[in-house]
Amino acid sequence: MTSLPIIDPEFEGLIPPLNTDEHKQLEHNILSSRKCFDAIITWEGIIIDGHNRYAICVDNGIEFSIKEMDFPSRDAVKVWILDNQLARRNLTDAMRIEVALLKSNILRKKAQKRQSRAGGDRTSAKYEGALSSESSKPKTASVDVRKTIAGEAGVSEGNLSNYMQVRASNNPQLLDHVQSGKLKIGTAHRLLPKEIMKQLRKADKDYSYLERVIAANNCNDLPPETRNKLTQLPTLLQELLEKLEGENTSDPTQNQKGIQKPNPAPI
- Residue 214: pLDDT band (50, 70, 90) is low
Handedness of CA 255, 259, 260, 261 (dihedral sign): negative
Q: Give the number of C-alpha atoms closer than 13 A to the C-alpha of residue 2, restricted to the C-beta side.
A: 1
| Contact yes or no for 149/93 (Cβ under 8 A) | no
For residue 127, the model assigns a pLDDT of 40
Under a CB-based contact definition with an 8 Å cutoff, are residues 40 and 66 in contact?
yes
pTM over 0.75: no
Q: CB-side exposure of 261: number of CA atoms within 13 Å?
A: 10
- Mean pLDDT, to the nearest integer, of 218-226? 66
Question: What pLDDT score does 141 carry?
Answer: 54
pLDDT in tens, 83-136: 999 998 889 999 999 999 999 999 888 888 877 777 655 544 444 444 443 434
Whether the predicted pLDDT of 208 surpasses 80: no
Cβ 148 vs Cβ 61: under 8 Å: no
Q: Is the pLDDT of residue 247 over 60?
A: no
Query: Is pLDDT at 168 greater than 80 in this prediction?
Result: yes
pLDDT of residue 211: 67
Over residues 21-74, the pLDDT tens digits come to 999 999 999 999 999 999 999 999 999 999 999 999 999 999 999 999 999 999
Percent of the chain predicted with pLDDT > 70: 66
pLDDT at 103: 94
Q: In this structure, are residues 188 and 174 in contact, taking their beta carbons and an 8 Å threshold?
A: yes
| Predicted pLDDT at 215 | 64
Q: What is the pLDDT of residue 220?
A: 61
